[in-house]
Chains A and B, each alone.
Chain A
Amino acid sequence: SRRASRRFRQRAMESVFEPGHAGQSKSLIGEIHLARSEPVSLLQLILQADAAEASIEELGERGIVEFRDLNVGKTAFQRTYAQKLRYLDEQARVVQYIHERIAAEKDALDEEYGGFPVGEEIFPRAVADVSVQATDAVEGEQDGGRRGPLSKLAVAGMSDDELSLHLEETEQDLRTAHSSALALARKLTAAKEHAEVLRVVRSFVDGTGRYSAAAAAGASLAAAVAAAESGKAPEEQSLLGGNAGEETDEDDVGAAGPDPEAAWRLSAPSEQTTSFGYVSGVVDSAKRHAFERVLFRATRGNVFVHIDDQGGLGNDDGDDRCVFVAVFASERVRAKLGRIADSFGASRYETGRSLGDRMQLLDDAQSRIHDLERTHAETRSALLRLLHRVSCEVQALEWRVERRKAVFHALNCCNADITRGCLVAEVWCPDIFRVEVHTALRAATKRAGSNVPAIVHVLSTNHTPPTYFVQSKYTAPFQGIVDAYGTPRYREFNPTVFSIVTFPFLFAVMFGDVGHGFMMTMFAAFLVLRERRWERGGAPSQLESAFEARYLLLAMGVFSMFTGLIYNETFAVPIDIFGTKWHYPPGNHSIGAKESGEAYWFGVDPGWALAENKLSFLNSLKMKMSIILGIVHMLLGIACKLSNLVYFRNARDILCEVIPEFFILMSLFGYLVFLIVLKWSTDFTGKVAPSLMDTLIKMFMSPGTVKAEEQLYAGQGAIQVVLILLLVVCVPWLLLPKPFLIKRAHERGFSELEKSNIEESNVKAGEDDDGHGGEFQFGEIMIHQVVHTIEYVLGTVSNTASYLRLWALSLAHAELSEVFWERVLILCASVSHGSAGFVFMVVGFAVWFGLTVGVLMGMESLSASLHALRLHWVEYQNKFYAGDGYAFQPLQLAREPVL
């Protein structure tokens, strides 16, 4: 129903909205830039084909126009510049690849180049160095396709083909360097694994070194293997030893491609049926258990597997690997075990046949490791050098590629007129930028050396223009709050104008405390002072959102100090600035204080702080104050609605909606506000003050009669009857005339404009087309009005009640801070004296301060801002705000690489 009624309002507004002369009617707030979005016109740009790219760049750098897509029906690849974009995508892919490589080596780069940050933050320094020389060089020769040290200027000056070439070369270099480093790393790993396997086999089979104990379980097996081997060794060595040696020498990169079969033949002779053989190698630790299980099953348990994971081996991905030695008795299973090992991705290495062989192999492996380590280190440092150079320019490259892509995406939105050699673009442009558009286009024509200037037409259109506000850094966070609910409709009254004051104020009503307000102000002031530094370099990530909202926080803090002064609370303690106006009888404090007949000059009298009836006094004060603030706030909402209707020249809605709405609010709660103020300003000394609640209830239960002792002013009964009658009249007034007026207008055929507007909005938006487009349906309009009436009348009561949250939150805040003050700080301070007292004092202060910052400054402030937010979004904005516009999103090209 809410949406429906809002849509209805939208139509009503559209019906009177005429694009041409809306800007001419100026009311007082109409002249504030923030109050209504900037007038935006639809411009048609006819760009010469040769100057088109330059024009888009110039416009994009200034960020002043939003391109309308004139090729909505066309798919991405049917558009004019699809080919070009594909070409740029390829460049983007290379940039992406470079980023990936840099990210992969980030740690190593940090280490190598002394913690020199790579990636995002490397650019400023790198460019600072390079651009100094580059600026000198380039300043003279404009637009020279300069190459060399790739600073931003150099990158910007390159043609697309040059850039492609450069990227291609860089990628090729990187890939080569990376793959050779990787290959060397693999070889090194293989060599290390080989050495480790040899060590394990040596200690396990030969029974030496640190592994002998681990192999205790397989000791007899190991001994048997060793025995079989040493027995057989002499005969076999002559046959196969030379062969094995050759292989090792040739295969200088280590057993990168081990030939396991050779090792098998070596390690155990086949004719010896009683001998034991073994298969050894390296397998991923993660697969170790599955591997053992499969080995066990495959041989029906006739295998002994020794696993050693002490070697600290790892693969490329950093997973642990461990050495295994599988000892078996029967030769037949050798091939099978080998295949199983392979299928588990194990690397098997030659282990020689005797102790001597193994010593020899180990020595070889060791020297290979030594060589490889050196070569690897060199390759790595070459790779890192390359990466470091590339990381200096990658930001510029990325900026350039993204920028080009954005330009061609924008060009793809234009209509290409091949025959005339020009492009037709339609852009939304705020009127304040109109002149700048011409400047930009002139600059582009000059830059591209084109003879024919671009032509600019203003088009009249039925499309709703985008909403654009000129923001300052102070107003931006407030506008953000409003936009989070919905972007204002084009030229609609912008609630931000009042939110700038009301938001921090309503927050402060709930957060009123001089001390806490001061802390918040100081924090915000700190953020504001850091502004210059952090706007360029970026705020620390924890403070980022607070930094965005720094002026909001500042206002909230200052307002909190103000309300704190009114409540007279500083960390829950009143400050007796002007001297309390209560008289205390000397000596006995339990006796009630006496009035001096004079009011405290500003805010709440500090004398209330110690009074027993403090709470009932403050509650009554804050409750009434909440209602007054609420009514004023809602009245403001209605005033905004009036301003909108005046602006859009909608007399019908002023008469049929704003006026009854105003009277409904005023006759009920406006009157209550009057009573509150009256009661405050009446002296009831010696009399019983009448209860306002009773007065309001009796106003409806027994209209016209007010008991003499309950009367607040003369003629109260009669006035109340008038108010009730006004209320009773206003409800049908709000409900009935408007639908019938619309109906009559329609029947007379005067609603052409309205109809075309409705149809238009359905055609263009598509999203708010619910299938009842241009047809006039009285029932529907009536239902909308019924819904609106019910919503408004009920809302009058419930929204007013909603403002009582001001009182509730304020009470909670005051009570919490008082509890922390009295029960933590004062209690600790008064527990004992002397050195123990000092300790208590320190601890107590720490606890109190922690609670104040954590609970009050953290949680309480958050909850108070959420409640303030709600009061704005719901209670205030539902009186007038449509919020269904769409934001102006200009093409924005960064002039510099974005850091």
Chain B
Amino acid sequence: SPLTLARPQYTQPQRVRPLAMASALSELLFFNTNDGYPEAILRGYRSGILTTQDYANLTQCESLDDMKLHLQCTDYGNFLQNEPSPLATTVIHERCLEKLVNDFKYLRAQCYEPLNKFLEYVTIEYMIDNVVLLVNGALHGRDMNELLEKCHPLGMFESMATLCVAQTTEDLYKLVLEDTPLGPYFKDQVKFEDLDEMNIEVIRNTLYKAYLEDFYQFCKKLGGVTAEVMCEILEFEADRRCINITINSFGTELTKDDRRKLFPEIGTLYPEGLLRLGRADDMDGVKAALEGFPVYRGILNDVEYDADKSLEDAFYEHAANLNKLAFMQQLHYGVFYAFVKLKEQEIRNIVWIAECISQQQKTRINQYIPIF
């Protein structure tokens, strides 16, 4: 019976293991040797994240130029200085993103291994999205340069443009991805066949699964507080993906078996929740499957009772909370991941507010997700 696979949910009482203690101690002693400086920079960046007060001010703006005026008083500084009025939302988005990317690149230039590797993992997610975007665009005959502009700058890699040449998954791998960090995921996980839309989605999710599992193992290997913080965040990411895949697969050709193969095998839902999710046929099935998981039950309930909130928003909110918690501890890499995620959330918030202002939808302006 599948139920026998379920792991007990309680945690085992912790015994004091000398080795673990030694490793914790060495982390305490030596963390700052290599990682102190990047962490210090990062903590500085973190204090630049917009506060509730800032959001309160932003939501009172009458126009995008007002927003610019206020954002000038924050850490964003004069990032919009050279933009002629009137501003467009896309410009604000681009500039915000540019600042994030510059900060991230600066940070990455300052760090040693394994932090560098860790930061590379952070970018892989965007690489996957970019690859899928490009391949999909090329399939529909879109202009390459236009597509490249739409790519997330954190996920850029060399010879990315060559992706459009690929006709089959094999091309994709051999021509481009072999040299990138995505190579191994691709080789092990993806069947070589012709590209079509369905395929691409499957590839995206397969890559994500491989990526999440790999990242999870990597964090585990790093151990210490990093593992503690990152595993929690990544488990949530995995759960979220599983739920999303399930919901999005309703009414498509994806068989339940194939669907199950796309679930990352980490996270709190694994294995029992995934088994149940794998059997779900509709939204009610998903709810039933998640009944035993208070966090997700709560999120689903929230969404049900709050008409303004989408499931995506609820997930973002929970993720933002987890990422916020990462800053409660010190001497670990989780903050680097959390910072990028929080900053992304902040950019989404700014863009949301800007959109609301420019489209005169003041009533919905408060639906952003506050961070600090």
Residue A887 CB within 8 A of the other chain: no
- Whether A86 pairs with B82 at a CB distance below 8 angstroms is no
Cβ contacts B162-184/A at 8 Å (1 or 0 each):
11110000010011101100000
Give the complex CA separation of A23 and B171 in angstroms. 87
- Whether A77 pairs with B70 at a CB distance below 8 angstroms is yes
| Interface segment out of the listed B60-68, B216-224, B253-261 | B60-68
In the assembled complex, how far is the CB of residue A527 from the closest CB belonging to chain B, in whole angstroms? Answer: 37
- Whether B161 pairs with A298 at a CB distance below 8 angstroms is no
- Whether A76 pairs with B162 at a CB distance below 8 angstroms is no
- Whether B165 pairs with A336 at a CB distance below 8 angstroms is yes
Which residues in chain B, 47-66, are within 8 Å of chain A measured between CB atoms? 57, 60-62, 65-66
In the assembled complex, how far is the CB of residue B318 from the closest CB belonging to chain A, in whole angstroms? Answer: 31
Cβ contacts B60-81/A at 8 Å (1 or 0 each):
1110011001101100000001
Cβ contacts A604-642/B at 8 Å (1 or 0 each):
000000000000000000000000000000000000000
In the assembled complex, how far is the CB of residue B51 from the closest CB belonging to chain A, in whole angstroms? Answer: 13
Residue B85 CB within 8 A of the other chain: yes
- Determine the chain A residues whose CB is within 8 A of the CB of B189 once the complex forms: none
Residue A835 CB within 8 A of the other chain: no
Give the complex CA separation of A536 and B81 in angstroms. 32
- Assuming the contacts A93-B81, A290-B159, A294-B159, asked whether A339 and B164 have C-beta atoms less than 8 A apart, the reply is yes
Residue B144 CB within 8 A of the other chain: yes
- Determine the chain B residues whose CB is within 8 A of the CB of A90 once the complex forms: 84-85
- Determine the chain B residues whose CB is within 8 A of the CB of A78 once the complex forms: 60
- Assuming the contacts A96-B81, A342-B144, asked whether A77 and B69 have C-beta atoms less than 8 A apart, the reply is yes
In the assembled complex, how far is the CB of residue B150 from the closest CB belonging to chain A, in whole angstroms? Answer: 16
Give the complex CA separation of A76 and B60 in angstroms. 11
Give the complex CA separation of A89 and B57 in angstroms. 20
In the assembled complex, how far is the CB of residue A392 from the closest CB belonging to chain B, in whole angstroms? Answer: 23
Give the complex CA separation of A96 and B84 in angstroms. 12
- Determine the chain A residues whose CB is within 8 A of the CB of B66 once the complex forms: 77, 82
Determine the main DSSP class of B at the interface with A: helix
Give the complex CA separation of A298 and B161 in angstroms. 14
Which residues in chain A, 332-357, are within 8 Å of chain B measured between CB atoms? 336, 339-340, 342-345
Which residue of B57, B85, B165, B179 is within 8 Å of A340 (Cβ)? Answer: B165
8 contacts between A and B (CB under 8 A): A77-B66, A86-B69, A93-B81, A96-B82, A297-B178, A336-B165, A342-B144, A343-B159
Residue B158 CB within 8 A of the other chain: yes
Residue A253 CB within 8 A of the other chain: no
Cβ contacts B120-159/A at 8 Å (1 or 0 each):
0000000000000000000000001000000000000011
- Assuming the contacts A290-B159, A297-B175, A298-B175, asked whether A76 and B82 have C-beta atoms less than 8 A apart, the reply is no
- Determine the chain B residues whose CB is within 8 A of the CB of A838 once the complex forms: none
Give the complex CA separation of A343 and B163 in angstroms. 8
- Whether B175 pairs with A294 at a CB distance below 8 angstroms is yes
Give the complex CA separation of A339 and B162 in angstroms. 8
- Determine the chain B residues whose CB is within 8 A of the CB of A85 once the complex forms: 69
- Determine the chain A residues whose CB is within 8 A of the CB of B60 once the complex forms: 75, 78
Give the complex CA separation of A342 and B70 in angstroms. 43
Residue A671 CB within 8 A of the other chain: no
Give the complex CA separation of A90 and B80 in angstroms. 11
Give the complex CA separation of A340 and B72 in angstroms. 43
- Whether A344 pairs with B85 at a CB distance below 8 angstroms is no
- Whether B161 pairs with A82 at a CB distance below 8 angstroms is no
Which residues in chain B, 68-110, are within 8 Å of chain A measured between CB atoms? 69-70, 72-73, 81-85
Residue A97 CB within 8 A of the other chain: yes
In the assembled complex, how far is the CB of residue B67 from the closest CB belonging to chain A, in whole angstroms? Answer: 8
Cβ contacts B288-299/A at 8 Å (1 or 0 each):
000000000000
Which residues in chain A, 313-368, are within 8 Å of chain B measured between CB atoms? 336, 339-340, 342-345
Give the complex CA separation of A77 and B64 in angstroms. 11
- Whether B174 pairs with A297 at a CB distance below 8 angstroms is yes
In the assembled complex, how far is the CB of residue B76 from the closest CB belonging to chain A, in whole angstroms? Answer: 13
- Determine the chain A residues whose CB is within 8 A of the CB of B85 once the complex forms: 86, 90
- Whether B81 pairs with A340 at a CB distance below 8 angstroms is no
Which residue of B70, B84, B144, B165 is within 8 Å of A93 (Cβ)? Answer: B84
- Assuming the contacts A77-B61, A85-B69, A297-B175, asked whether A344 and B84 have C-beta atoms less than 8 A apart, the reply is no
- Determine the chain B residues whose CB is within 8 A of the CB of A342 once the complex forms: 144, 161
Give the complex CA separation of A482 and B318 in angstroms. 52
Which residue of A86, A287, A293 is within 8 Å of B65 (Cβ)? Answer: A86
In the assembled complex, how far is the CB of residue B285 from the closest CB belonging to chain A, in whole angstroms? Answer: 44
- How many B residues are at the interface, by size bracket? 20 to 34
Give the complex CA separation of A293 and B174 in angstroms. 11
Cβ contacts A78-95/B at 8 Å (1 or 0 each):
100010011001101100
Give the complex CA separation of A90 and B83 in angstroms. 9
- Nearest A-chain residue to B165, judged by Cβ: A339
- Whether B161 pairs with A76 at a CB distance below 8 angstroms is no
- Determine the chain B residues whose CB is within 8 A of the CB of A339 once the complex forms: 164-165
Give the complex CA separation of A75 and B69 in angstroms. 9
In the assembled complex, how far is the CB of residue A171 from the closest CB belonging to chain B, in whole angstroms? Answer: 9
> Which A-B residue pairs are the 7 nearest by beta carbons?
A343-B161, A77-B66, A343-B162, A75-B57, A339-B165, A77-B69, A76-B69
Interface centre among B57, B60, B162, B178 (most CB of A within 10 A): B162
Which residue of A93, A293, A297 is within 8 Å of B82 (Cβ)? Answer: A93
- Determine the chain A residues whose CB is within 8 A of the CB of B162 once the complex forms: 294, 340, 343-344
Give the complex CA separation of A290 and B163 in angstroms. 13
Which residues in chain A, 245-290, are within 8 Å of chain B measured between CB atoms? 287, 290
- Whether A343 pairs with B72 at a CB distance below 8 angstroms is no
- Determine the chain B residues whose CB is within 8 A of the CB of A96 once the complex forms: 81-82
- Determine the chain B residues whose CB is within 8 A of the CB of A294 once the complex forms: 159, 162, 175-176
- Determine the chain A residues whose CB is within 8 A of the CB of B161 once the complex forms: 342-345
In the assembled complex, how far is the CB of residue A412 from the closest CB belonging to chain B, in whole angstroms? Answer: 11
- Determine the chain A residues whose CB is within 8 A of the CB of B73 once the complex forms: 75-76
- Determine the chain B residues whose CB is within 8 A of the CB of A340 once the complex forms: 162, 165, 175
- Whether B159 pairs with A344 at a CB distance below 8 angstroms is yes
Give the complex CA separation of A487 and B67 in angstroms. 36
- Nearest B-chain residue to A337, judged by Cβ: B165
- Nearest B-chain residue to A100, judged by Cβ: B82
Which residue of B81, B82, B144 is within 8 Å of A343 (Cβ)? Answer: B144
- Nearest B-chain residue to A291, judged by Cβ: B159
Interface centre among B159, B164, B176 (most CB of A within 10 A): B159
- Assuming the contacts A90-B85, A93-B84, A297-B175, asked whether A82 and B165 have C-beta atoms less than 8 A apart, the reply is no
Beyond contacts A82-B69, A86-B85, A342-B161: 19 other A-B pairs, Cβ-Cβ < 8 A, are A75-B60, A75-B73, A76-B70, A77-B61, A77-B62, A89-B69, A90-B84, A92-B81, A93-B81, A93-B84, A97-B82, A290-B158, A294-B176, A297-B178, A298-B175, A336-B165, A343-B144, A343-B163, A343-B165
Give the complex CA separation of A60 and B8 in angstroms. 74
- Determine the chain B residues whose CB is within 8 A of the CB of A86 once the complex forms: 65, 69, 85
Give the complex CA separation of A376 and B162 in angstroms. 34
Cβ contacts A43-83/B at 8 Å (1 or 0 each):
00000000000000000000000000000000111100010
- Determine the chain A residues whose CB is within 8 A of the CB of B165 once the complex forms: 298, 336, 339-340, 343
- Whether A75 pairs with B81 at a CB distance below 8 angstroms is no
- Nearest B-chain residue to A87, judged by Cβ: B85
Give the complex CA separation of A89 and B65 in angstroms. 10
- Determine the chain A residues whose CB is within 8 A of the CB of B175 once the complex forms: 294, 297-298, 340
- Assuming the contacts A336-B165, A343-B144, asked whether A75 and B70 have C-beta atoms less than 8 A apart, the reply is yes
Give the complex CA separation of A95 and B84 in angstroms. 12
- Whether B72 pairs with A76 at a CB distance below 8 angstroms is yes
- Determine the chain A residues whose CB is within 8 A of the CB of B179 once the complex forms: 293
- Determine the chain A residues whose CB is within 8 A of the CB of B84 once the complex forms: 90, 93
Give the complex CA separation of A77 and B73 in angstroms. 11
- Nearest B-chain residue to A82, judged by Cβ: B69
In the assembled complex, how far is the CB of residue A614 from the closest CB belonging to chain B, in whole angstroms? Answer: 50
- Determine the chain A residues whose CB is within 8 A of the CB of B174 once the complex forms: 297-298
Give the complex CA separation of A253 and B61 in angstroms. 49
Give the complex CA separation of A85 and B68 in angstroms. 12
Give the complex CA separation of A345 and B62 in angstroms. 43
Which residues in chain A, 75-132, are within 8 Å of chain B measured between CB atoms? 75-78, 82, 85-86, 89-90, 92-93, 96-97
